C-alpha cells in the first residue's frame, strides 16, 4: 500500500511548491522519503510535551527530529477525546514541538453536540487561545491550523463549503485580533473531515481554506487529485 502511494506521488510529478505531508502508518516511509521527487515531508501523529526525562513510552519531539520527521500533528480530536488531552496539554506540546524544530499541524474542532448548541466558534477560539498563550507571535510561522469538525472525521459527512468557510474566516479574524494581521494572513488554515477528490474541488475554492488534512482518501489513488486541487482552484 505505501509503495503504491509513493509510486503514484512520484508518477504525479508534483511540483516543488506542492507540499504533501504524509502521516506514515509505518516507519517505512522514513527510509524512502529521500528517494521521492520532490521529497515528501513525513509527519508524526503525536509527540510528548517534554524533551527529556522519565516518561516511559512517550516520544519526545527531539526524537522525532532525530528520526528526520519534519512535522507533527497535535490535538487531533481522537487524542483529545480518547486520551483526555486538554487544551493546555495540546498547547504545551505545540510549544515543545516548535522548540525542537518541528512544524506543527494543530487540530481544532467542535463536536456535533457543540455545533448543534451553536457554540462552534467559542470552542475553536478556546482551543486557539490555549495555543496563543503557549507560543509567541513569531512561532505561528511553524504552525498550520487544521479545522476538523469532529462529526466529519471518518464519517463520510463532510462540512459544507459554507460551514467550513465560516469557521476558517472566523479563525483568521480571531488570529488578526489576538496575534497580528500578518500572522492572520500568513497562517495556513486547512480543513479535515471526509475530504475526497470530489468535495475537495468545492472546498478548495473557498477563500479561507488553504489545504486539507486527509485521512481515508489518502490511502486511495484519488489522493493525488486532492494534492493537486489547489493548482486548479
Ligand atoms: O483527521 C482525519 C484523519 O485523522 C480525517 O480523516 P478522514 O479524512 O478519513 O475523515
CA 17 to chain centre: 18
Question: pLDDT at position 107, please?
Answer: 98
pLDDT confidence bin for 231, thresholds 50/70/90: confident
What are the CA-CA distances from residue 170 to residues 6, 47, 195, 213 (Å)?
A: 36, 28, 21, 19
**Burial state string for 108-131 with b = 16 or more CB within 10 A and e = fewer than 16:** bbbbeebbeeeebeebbbebbebb
Probe residue for ligand 1, chosen from 213, 217, 218 as the CB with the greatest number of ligand atoms within 8 Å:
213
Mean pLDDT of the chain: 89
Range 186-208 average pLDDT? 96
Q: Residue ranges per domain, the chain?
A: 2-9+40-232
With a pLDDT cut of 90, the percent of the chain lying above it is: 74
Q: What is the pTM of this model?
A: 0.90
CA 31 to chain centre: 22
Looking at the predicted structure, is the pLDDT value of residue 33 above 60?
yes
Q: Which residues pair with 190 in a beta bridge?
A: 146
What are the CA-CA distances from residue 224 to residues 147, 154, 208, 217 (Å)?
A: 21, 19, 22, 10
Question: pLDDT at position 40, please?
Answer: 78
At 21, list the grid cell.
Answer: 505531508
Range 101-107 average pLDDT? 97
**168 is annotated as an active-site residue:** no
Is the model more confident about 26 or about 42? 42
Domain formed by 2-9+40-232, architecture: Alpha-Beta Barrel (3.20)
Looking at the predicted structure, is the pLDDT value of residue 17 above 70?
no
Residue 156 region by backbone torsions, left for phi larger than 0, else alpha for psi between -120 and 50, else beta: left
Looking at the predicted structure, is the pLDDT value of residue 1 above 70?
no
Which residues have any ligand 1 atom within 6 Å of their CB? Answer: 76, 148, 153-154, 192-195, 213-217
Amino acid at each position: 500500500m505505501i509503495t503504491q502511494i509513493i509510486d503514484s506521488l512520484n508518477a504525479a510529478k508534483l511540483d516543488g511548491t506542492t507540499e504533501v505531508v504524509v502521516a506514515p502508518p509505518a516507519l517505512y516511509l522514513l527510509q524512502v522519503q529521500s528517494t521521492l521527487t520532490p521529497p515528501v515531508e513525513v509527519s508524526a501523529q503525536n509527540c510528548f510535551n517534554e524533551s527529556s526525562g522519565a516518561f516511559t513510552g512517550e516520544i519526545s519531539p527531539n526524537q522525532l527530529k532525530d528520526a528526520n520527521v519534519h512535522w507533527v500533528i497535535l490535538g487531533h480530536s481522537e487524542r483529545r477525546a480518547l486520551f483526555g488531552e486538554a487544551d493546555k496539554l495540546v498547547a504545551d506540546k505545540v510549544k515543545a514541538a516548535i522548540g525542537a524544530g518541528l512544524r506543527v499541524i494543530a487540530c481544532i474542532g467542535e463536536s456535533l453536540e457543540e455545533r448543534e448548541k451553536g457554540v462552534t466558534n467559542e470552542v475553536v477560539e478556546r482551543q486557539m487561545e490555549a495555543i496563543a498563550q503557549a507560543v509567541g507571535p513569531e512561532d505561528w510561522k511553524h504552525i498550520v491550523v487544521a479545522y476538523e469538525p469532529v462529526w466529519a472525521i471518518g464519517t463520510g459527512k463532510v462540512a459544507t463549503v459554507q460551514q467550513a468557510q465560516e469557521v476558517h474566516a472566523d479563525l483568521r479574524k480571531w488570529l488578526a485580533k489576538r496575534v497580528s494581521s500578518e500572522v492572520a494572513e500568513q497562517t495556513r488554515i486547512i480543513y479535515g473531515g471526509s475530504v475526497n477528490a470530489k468535495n475537495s474541488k468545492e472546498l478548495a475554492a473557498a477563500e479561507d481554506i488553504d489545504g486539507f488534512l486527509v485521512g481515508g482518501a489518502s490511502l486511495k489513488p484519488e489522493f493525488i487529485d486532492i494534492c493537486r486541487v489547489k493548482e486548479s482552484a
